[in-house]
Amino acid sequence: MLRSLSAAVLALPMVASANADLESKMANPKNWAAQAGDMFNQRYSKLNQINASNVGKLQVAWTFSTGVLRGHEGSPLVVDGMMYLHSPFPNKVFAINLDTQKIVWKHEPKQDPAVIPQMCCDTVNRGLAYAEGKIFLQQADSMLVAMDAKTGKVLWSTKNGDPKLGAVNSNAPHVFKDKVITGISGGEWGVRGYIAAYDINTGKQVWKGYSVGPDAEMLIDPNKTTTWIDGKVQPVGKDSSLKTWQGDQWKIGGGTTWGWYSYDKATNSVYYGTGNPSTWNPAQRPGDNKWSMSIWSRDVDTGKVNWVYQMTPFDEWDFDGINEMILADIDVKGKPTKALVHFDRNGFAYTLDRVTGALLVAEKYDPKVNWATHVDMKTGRPQVVSKYSTAQNGPDVNTKGICPAALGSKDQQPASFDPNTKLFYVPTNHVCMDYEPFKVEYVAGQPYVGATLSMFPAPGSHGGMGNYITWDAGKGKIVQSKPEKFSVWSGSLNTAGGISCYGTLEGFFKCVDAKDITKELYKFRTPSGIIGNVFTYEHKGKQYMGVFSGIGGWAGIGMAAGLEKDTDGLGAVGGYKELGQYTDLGGSLTVFALPN
């Protein structure tokens, strides 16, 4: 009996432990211990003191200025009565005692300002990570730094990329198990993308997996790594990336990884997306350019690729695939599913089986998307409309009226999932573009774009330049849509109080009813446009909600960097020229609470 029992125990699937300290901090809803609040990227809080019946009474509890006037993305962390804030370049870090609101320590790294022009779309930073008494900062100049959470003392730092070649950083680091995981920016400089894992105690690199190139460097096993082919999950086969590039173009092939990462300890997998291939002129890189524009599942301990799925083969529009992967257990077409849900820049929302990588749903989450008619569910490929194919029309031809624009139906601003309504709450853009590719030579450390873009509001849109929508990922359908004047460029938050909150580009912090998002329950004008992510915490029995304001990022790059030509900022300046009539630069945190 004993022998058979122990054999049965051994036969049980081993569930990997995430970082135990971080898990316990996340499990306490008083904290906001990670950028998404959890490892599934759900951006949901169990706090309910602020709820649909009283959120209209919110007041500003306190504010804090970072002293930096560029785009403020991400959010602070809150861990055991301390708040940790970050800023855009020069990437200041503040530790604030929530009892006294006193700055306990401040860290301002010394970085070469030469990194600023190497950052394509503003000097943003998407936030800090916490684990085991350490705060992790991914600097713009690619230095990954671990600091003592109590004192701010630097414990270790390691170089993640070469900023002189355009390999800079804007992503938040993420801690899964005993590793801190980070990516790289610089697709517009011909940087070859990768994701890397470092030991949280020593800073030593544990593994590094590239997005494109030879199997061994991507950590792909041709026989074990799978993808969606011919209506089923099958091995990718040998040289799955190399076969889709001409010559050595993959060496400067893009596929950067500056988004958000999620983790499922049941599969011990990290999930993330890769960005555009370099250059933006498709004529210079014929082929599918695998595995840029793809969703990845990797083993956290080894980096080995479980499965990969490419959303936009042979990208002709800069539809970066880096947006967050939200993990949720939902019904898909009536069947309980361990799902991964991804709202891609290309305007399609994808639902995949996160264990196998099987493609389950792929539908437009903006009706104005016109570059493709649909995704063929057998091949997994979008069916491109020839009129909007910048490759077919060729270099030096201006392809007009492509929807969405390069900044996508949604950019990096993360959506939220509400386990009560089983819906996804998605900040969206309604922007289209004209796109003219041209030949460009690669010069190390110089922009390698090869296209001129003009952007403009989507004509006849069901909103303004933005909408806040609810999405049923099991059916692939918009449930409700709330129009906004400008793109909604803020990460959303849902809570057990039955509310969903987000920020707008002109600077409003808003909360709506989670069951009916057309019901606006609260709004407040913050000092600057909001591209930060809403977060919440509890301190001394009181719930607070907060958000960064500070216009910038790609949508606000014209204001943040003082650009004026319509085609500047890769076309965003013209698209958002009205924005300057509604807000101005800033850099502050606004925290809200109910009156005593």
Q: In terms of Cα–Cα distance, which of 523, 492, 527 is closest to 418? A: 492
Q: In terms of Cα–Cα distance, which of 278, 220, 275, 274 is closest to 249? A: 278
Cα separation of 9 and 29, whole Å? Answer: 33
Q: How does DSSP assign 223-280, residue by residue? A: TT-EEEETTEEEE--TTTTGGGS-TTGGGG-B----S--EEETTTTEEEEE--PBS-S
What lies within 8 Å, CB to CB, of 9 at 6+ separation is none
Cα four-point dihedral sign 21, 27, 29, 33: positive
Cα separation of 32 and 168, whole Å? Answer: 27
Cα separation of 289 and 526, whole Å? Answer: 43
The widest CA-to-CA distance across the chain, in whole angstroms, is 78
Q: Per the annotation, where are the binding residues?
A: 73, 126, 188, 256, 276, 318
Q: Per the annotation, where are the binding residues for Ca(2+)?
A: 188, 276, 318
Cα separation of 450 and 188, whole Å? Answer: 9
Residue 87 identity:
S
Token pair recorded at residue 448:
């390698």
486: phi > 0 → left, psi -120 to 50 → alpha, else beta; which? beta
What lies within 8 Å, CB to CB, of 205 at 6+ separation is 158, 196, 197, 198
The continuous run of DSSP H or E covering 503 comes out as strand 499-503
Q: What are phi and psi of 76, to 5 degrees?
A: -65, 165
Q: Work out the number of other CB atoms within 10 angstroms of the CB of residue 512.
A: 25
Cα separation of 538 and 129, whole Å? Answer: 19
Q: Per the annotation, where are the binding residues for pyrroloquinoline quinone?
A: 73, 126, 256
Degrees, nearest 5: CA angle 392-394-397? 120
Q: Work out the number of other CB atoms within 10 angstroms of the CB of residue 224.
A: 12
Across 403-450, the runs of DSSP E, i.e. the strands, are 416-418, 423-429, 431-437
Long-range contacts, 383-387 (Cβ 8 Å, 24+): 384/316
Cα separation of 417 and 518, whole Å? Answer: 17
Query: What are the CA-CA distances from residue 308 to residues 242, 316, 541 (Å)?
Result: 15, 20, 44
What lies within 8 Å, CB to CB, of 247 at 6+ separation is none
Q: Work out the number of other CB atoms within 10 angstroms of the CB of residue 232.
A: 11
Cα separation of 319 and 255, whole Å? Answer: 11
Which positions are annotated as active-site residues? 318
Q: In terms of Cα–Cα distance, which of 167, 202, 163 is closest to 183? A: 167
Collapsing DSSP to helix, strand or coil, 28 comes out as coil
